[in-house]
Amino acid sequence: MRLDTSMKIAFVASDVDEAAAAADRLRSRYGAHAPQDADVIVALGGDGFMLQTLREHMSANKPIYGMNRGTVGFLMNEYSEDGLVERIAAAQAEKIRPLVMTAETVAGETVTALAINEVSLFRQSYQAAKLSIEVDGHPRMEELICDGVMVATPAGSTAYNLSAQGPILPLQARLLALTPVSPFRPRRWHGALLPHTAEVRFSVREIEKRPVNAVADNTEVKSVKSVRVRESPRARVTVLFDATHSWDDRILLEQFRY
């Protein structure tokens, strides 16, 4: 971003005391503006609060700069109260493209929700889920028996996807990660990398015996019978990262952890 000493900054914070206190200090120092009137939104908290902020302000077309005042901060920059305008002006902008989930329930309801990290399906009971998978209308797996399965964005590839042994994707990669959770059959299937334009459809088999829930980030839909997942054709959000610790740097660091 271009350095602008008149930059209007909106500070939003999680309900953690440390984040709220930081927001008060920063507002006193840099001014207090409502998000709709600001040039940039600064989110204070952890990754969970950052995701909440991204979803809430996705349609505002304003860049969001996070500073870590929480427990997990992969999407966040280091916290510092000094030189904030200069840091924001020098930050690298990355576009995040969310997923759109369309879930049809057993009761006949259709629920649509956006996901910045991933769309996941999980078994609802002690019985493993039994699913079939289509990609762009073509059957790719007739039967997957598992605890769950997800489609993750590059932004979400270092979150639950990574915990399930899925691949880490650079933010600019035009790919989606299709990753199973504890697959029982086929036991050796580790998932797939799909083009970002792919539409994935999951169909639940043996619905009454093996009920399944679907989750788009924090939006949960119970007892689904089918779920379609694709990249949203319109929704976009811009995240700002310090040039000294860019998203690419974080991706490389994460891949060399052991």
Q: Which domains does the chain have, with CATH numbers?
A: 9-96+236-255 (3.40.50.10330), 99-231 (2.60.200.30)
Q: What's the whole-model pTM score?
A: 0.85
Cite the active site residues. 47
Q: What pLDDT, on the 0 to 100 scale, is given for residue 212?
A: 98
Rounded CA gap, 130 and 92, in Å? 43
65 is in an annotated binding site: no
pLDDT above 70: percentage of residues in the chain: 96
Q: Does residue 158 or residue 254 have the better pLDDT?
A: 158
Question: In the predicted model, is pLDDT for residue 249 greater than 90?
Answer: no
48 is in an annotated binding site: yes
26 is in an annotated binding site: no
Question: In the predicted model, is pLDDT for residue 3 greater than 60?
Answer: no
Sheet with 224-231: strands ordered across: 110-115, 99-105, 224-231, 200-204, 129-135, 138-146
159 is in an annotated binding site: yes
Categorize the per-residue pLDDT at 218 as very low, low, confident or very high, splitting at 50, 70 and 90: confident
Question: In the predicted model, is pLDDT for residue 4 greater than 60?
Answer: no
Give tens-digit pLDDT for 12-42. Answer: 999 999 999 999 999 999 999 999 999 999 9
Q: What pLDDT, on the 0 to 100 scale, is given for residue 66?
A: 96
Give tens-digit pLDDT for 107-159. Answer: 999 999 999 999 999 999 999 999 999 999 999 999 999 999 999 999 899 88
Rounded CA gap, 187 and 76, in Å? 36
160-176: average pLDDT: 92
258 is in an annotated binding site: no
Q: What pLDDT, on the 0 to 100 scale, is given for residue 248?
A: 72
